[in-house]
Structure formats: C-alpha cells, structure tokens
C-alpha cells in the first residue's frame, strides 16, 4: 500500500534538507501522536547519517508500540538537484514487528514556480501482512499530521544555521593553524580598509566634531498519482 503527499514548504530547499536530517525535527513532526526515543548508546545524533538507528516508539506517549530500526540512505548528487532521504528500516518488536515492508522516501527540490520555496514529496510504501488494508487509514492519518507539522515549522527553518553546515577545508586548516578564516581579520586587528575599534577611519570625523555571499535510493517519490493515492 502507498501514501503519497506533495506540498510547497515555505523555506529554501537547503533549509528543508537540513530539517529532514535533524532527529529533533523528526521527533517534533511526529509528536504528540507518536513519541520516539533513541536506543543508541549516545542517544540521537545531531544530524542523521546513513546507516541504522534503533528507536523505541509509543503512541500518544502512553501506549508502547515497540522497537524499530531506522535504516537511512541519502541521495544528494542527482543532476536534477533533487535530494532524497530514504528509510528502509524494519520493526523489531511489539506492534511494529507486524510491518513486513517499509520504504519511506522524502524528496526535496526547488519549487518549479521559481518562488525560492521547496517542493516536498513524501511517499510511504508499506505492508503489514493480512492487516495491510486495515492499516492504511492509520498511516494515512499519521502522514497527514506529519505534513501539517512540516508546513507549520518550515518558515522557522530559514533562521536555523543548520546541523549540516561544516567549515570548508580551507577554513578548517586556517583555524587549526591559528589563522582567521578568509574575510575575517585576526584577533586584535581590523579588516582591510577598516579602522580598529575605538579609532575613527581616515577621512571621517569623530561624532560631535565639525567635518574637515540512479539507484532505487535515488528515485524521487512518484507524483504521477493523486497526492494521497493508494496502490497495492
């Protein structure tokens, strides 16, 4: 069975991609319908990385759902600029163990209308054995809630510096050598063309004086069916 949603998020594709890679955002968009806790020794990472991440889930923070392994892969080098986060994890215990197929893909791309916003596509393909058909309304409702949360939070992501922002190799080398990054002056020195703090630049008068910046994992969710279409 499949759940497929498509929306325009009010943020840049870079901001949306940073959010998808954030375990904090993952937990926030699922809450309070589903609460998620990490089973990793060090807890949730700051940013998702490819690989397996075991978690425990509860419904409404009260009813145990069981344990699940989130297995992530990322596609970021497609020529069309689409970035995809894919989870092909599995249920380990409890009600989650009934899920026999789990393929969740989230794709981020620039809005084709040129607004600078994000075209976001979210597709879940799942099977739960004999309960597959009966499970579809549950997953459909949960995905509707997730999308509502994503749309609500998206404008705030523009202000987030992002968990995947890393210094360039040149900046890292300069920092380790005690040098200031490009465009910044060493401590105690003013940038070129600027006067040190407390001094008046040449040619200016102090105040108060008179003047003198494809594998399967790489396939975007298929949006050729209605946004909440169902297939078997």
Strands (E), 140-206: none
Query: Is 8 inside any structural domain?
Result: yes
113 is in which domain, residue-wise?
2-160
Out of 39-43, 120-124, 152-156, 171-175, least confident range: 171-175
Q: Which of 122, 165, 171, 148 is nearest to 18 (CA)?
A: 165
Q: Would you say 82 and 108 are in contact if contact means Cβ atoms under 8 Å apart?
A: yes
Q: What CATH number is attached to the domain comprising 22?
A: 3.30.530.20
173 pLDDT more than 60: no
- Put simply, whether the predicted model's pTM sits higher than 0.75 gets the answer no
- Of 16-20, 39-43, 85-89, 183-187, minimum mean pLDDT range: 183-187
CA distances from 57 to 32, 61, 157 (A): 11, 8, 25
pLDDT in tens, 210-221: 444 444 445 666
| 24 three-state secondary structure | helix
Q: What is the mean pLDDT of the chain?
A: 80
Asked if residue 60 is part of any domain, the answer here is yes
Residue at 139 is within a domain: yes
């Amino acid at each position: 069975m499949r759940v497929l949603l498509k929306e325009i998020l009010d943020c840049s594709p870079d901001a949306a991609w940073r959010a998808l890679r954030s375990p904090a955002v993952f937990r926030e968009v699922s809450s309070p319908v589903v609460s998620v806790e990490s089973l990793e020794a060090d807890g949730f990472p700051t940013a998702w990385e490819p690989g397996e991440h075991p978690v425990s889930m509860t419904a409404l923070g009260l009813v145990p759902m069981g344990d699940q392994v989130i297995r992530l892969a990322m596609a970021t080098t497609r020529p069309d600029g689409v970035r995809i986060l894919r989870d092909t994890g599995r249920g380990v215990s409890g009600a989650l163990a009934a899920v026999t197929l789990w393929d969740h893909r989230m794709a981020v791309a620039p809005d084709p209308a040129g607004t600078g916003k994000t075209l976001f596509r979210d597709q879940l393909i799942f099977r739960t054995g004999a309960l597959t058909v009966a499970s579809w309304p549950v997953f459909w409702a949960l995905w509707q809630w997730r999308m509502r949360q994503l749309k609500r939070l998206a404008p705030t992501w523009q202000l987030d510096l992002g968990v995947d922002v890393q210094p360039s190799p040149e900046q890292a080398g300069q920092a380790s050598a005690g040098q200031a990054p490009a465009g910044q002056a060493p401590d105690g020195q003013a940038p070129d063309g600027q006067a040190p703090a407390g001094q008046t630049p040449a040619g200016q008068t102090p105040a108060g004086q008179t003047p003198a910046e494809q594998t399967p994992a790489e396939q975007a969710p298929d949006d050729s069916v209605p946004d909440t279409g169902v297939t078997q």
